[in-house]
């Protein structure tokens, strides 16, 4: 299964989520991330990089913009917020059947957005990393049960 994780700039939340999910090394799961307003090749946030490296996780050090090729590659597209989902559905209505917020995909009764640490201090990023770790743990359980 190919999973595409989306946030705003692909410098904070989606790179952390990608690293956390990739570190699980789940058989037959490939993961990529991008930003709806991302730019190809920008460095990810220093705080995100610090936390990922401290956890010794494989990661992509630069941002990427959402692309139709990656949307087509993906079996499921998971956004960090409802607003990200809405932008994707407006811009790419042909992929509506596979776009969900991360939280609604993992637990439909737990809808909501993943907090955005952008511009915050290391502790703010640590809180977002912890939130994502918990959600990705639930995602792993869902993927391995299917």
Q: What is the pLDDT of residues 1-52, one digit of tens each?
A: 999 999 999 999 999 999 999 999 999 999 999 999 999 999 999 999 999 9
In this predicted structure, the answer to whether residue 110 has a pLDDT above a threshold of 80 is no
Q: SS3 of 16, please?
A: helix
Q: Is 39 a catalytic residue?
A: no
Distinct helix (H) and strand (E) counts, the chain: 6, 4
Domain boundaries, the chain: 2-145
**% of residues, the chain, pLDDT over 90:** 95
Sign of CA dihedral 79, 38, 63, 90: positive
pTM more than 0.85: yes
Of 7, 12, 22, 32, the catalytic one is 7
| Lookup: tokens for 26 | 């789940």
Of 70, 116, 126, 137, the catalytic one is 116
Of 12, 13, 22, 32, the catalytic one is 13
**Range list of β-strands (E), the chain:** 2-7, 30-35, 76-79, 99-101
Q: Is 12 a catalytic residue?
A: no
Question: Do residues 84 and 14 lie in contact, with contact meaning Cβ atoms separated by under 8 Å?
Answer: no
Residue 109, pLDDT score = 84
For the domain 2-145, what is the CATH code? 3.40.50.2300
The number of beta carbons lying within 10 Å of the beta carbon of residue 37 is: 13
What are the pLDDT digits (tens) for 48-65?
A: 999 999 999 999 999 999
In this predicted structure, the answer to whether residue 111 has a pLDDT above a threshold of 90 is no
Q: Is 67 exposed, middle or buried (0-12, 13-18, 19+ CB in 10 A)?
A: middle
Q: Is 32 a catalytic residue?
A: no
Question: Do residues 34 and 70 lie in contact, with contact meaning Cβ atoms separated by under 8 Å?
Answer: yes
């Amino acid at each position: 299964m190919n999973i595409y994780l989306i946030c705003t700039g692909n410098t904070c939340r989606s790179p952390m989520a990608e690293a956390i999910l990739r570190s699980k090394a789940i058989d037959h799961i490939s993961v990529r991330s991008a930003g709806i307003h991302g730019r190809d090749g920008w460095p990810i946030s220093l705080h995100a990089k610090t936390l990922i490296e401290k956890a010794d996780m494989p990661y992509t050090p630069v941002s990427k913009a959402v692309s139709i090729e990656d949307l087509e590659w993906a079996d499921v597209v998971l956004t960090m917020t409802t607003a990200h989902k809405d932008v994707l559905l407006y811009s790419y209505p042909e992929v509506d059947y596979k776009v969900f917020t991360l939280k609604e995909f993992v637990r439909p009764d737990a809808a909501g957005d993943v907090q955005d640490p952008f511009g915050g201090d290391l502790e703010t990023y640590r809180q977002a990393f912890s939130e994502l770790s918990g959600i990705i743990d639930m995602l792993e359980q869902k993927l391995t049960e299917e």
